[in-house]
Amino acid sequence: MKVTAHPVSRRTLLGALTLPWLVGGCSTPLPLRPPPAGDADAAARLRDSAQAHGLAAYKALTDINVSYSGEWRPLVGRIQPEVVDAGFRGGSQERLLPSAGIVAQAYTGPMGRKQVAWRRGGRTPDDLGEVTVWFNGVRSTDTAAQNAAALVAEGYGLFLLGPLWLADRGLRMQMGGTERVDGRVCDVVDVWLSPGLGRVATDHVAICIDRVDGLVHRMRFTLEGFVNTQGAVAEVDTFEHERRFGVVWPMRSYERIVHPISLPAHDWRITGLDVNRGYEAEELSGASFAGAAAAPAKAL
């Protein structure tokens, strides 16, 4: 299925380069303050969706190994260079340890290799997670690079797993009405992620759950974990779902910015996938994958 982006005028493109959100400080239309109490209907709807995605099989996975190919739209690279990091972000190999909240990524691009190791925070109230980043084997000490990498890594766990990534975490949520996604009537569940996407206390995610098959076809989310994306909202639509290893995977995905402007951002697809190799977090923590994590994901 080919995704066609709406055309963007030259005036919009030029205006985008001077928008306040590009340097942080802009407010978001998705409220970051959670409701005073959770919504049992929303929690049940999310869990039903997680079960449709293969929750029981997912809980039996010790590790997930994925490869992606994709394309970034040029303007996004100009306005968010740290997040896109076009010199290093071509194809990627990704490793997930779901029970530990760990995502590790190995990118290759025209400037060489980038390696990211991320562990989600939340072990204590002040724990915002741990991230390490290497460029061509040299560990980075740049805070902006680290924060952008943490946001992207946690985001890709969400994009790949949807309600499975959110289930059983005790998150505050409420029903958010209905929405049509490519003709499907979907229930919207608003979820307050704590910790958020990357090294931040809170983000807001709205997931659109198909009333017919229970699958999530769209996720809309804030990007508070990086100073230059604070106040922005993006969406990821997922396509061509396939069930493998008992879990439903989105084989194609498309991301767009929806606030403060509408702008196409990124298309990508899964090119390799396997599970349960049996490695530990230590094999993901260096400048390259080690041991059982090292081999590429099984090509599809």
d(C-alpha 108, C-alpha 124), whole Å: 34
Task: Please report, to the nearest 10 degrees, the dihedral formed by the alpha carbons of residues 286, 291, 293, 296 taken in order.
Answer: 110
d(C-alpha 239, C-alpha 226), whole Å: 27
Asked if the model's pLDDT at residue 38 lies above 90, the reply is: no
pLDDT tens, 143-172?
A: 999 999 999 999 999 999 999 999 999 999
Asked if the model's pLDDT at residue 60 lies above 50, the reply is: yes
d(C-alpha 131, C-alpha 116), whole Å: 7
d(C-alpha 75, C-alpha 97), whole Å: 33
Its pTM stands at 0.89
- The residue ranking higher by pLDDT, 3 or 271, is 271
The percent helix, strand, coil of the chain (3-state, each to 5) is: 25, 40, 35
Least confident stretch, 13-17, 82-86, 98-102: 13-17
pLDDT of residue 182: 94
pLDDT tens, 185-199?
A: 999 999 999 999 999
pLDDT tens, 89-104?
A: 778 999 999 999 999 9
Banded model confidence at residue 12, pLDDT cuts 50, 70, 90: very low
Banded model confidence at residue 81, pLDDT cuts 50, 70, 90: low
pLDDT tens, 199-210?
A: 999 999 999 999
Task: Break the chain into its structural domains and give their ranges.
Answer: 20-293
Asked if the model's pLDDT at residue 9 lies above 80, the reply is: no
Long-range contact pairs involving 133-139 (C-beta distance under 8 Å, separation at least 24) = 134/287, 135/88, 135/111, 136/111, 136/112, 137/113, 137/287, 137/288, 138/287, 139/287
Asked if the model's pLDDT at residue 1 lies above 90, the reply is: no
CATH 3.40.50.1370: does it fit domain 20-293?
A: no
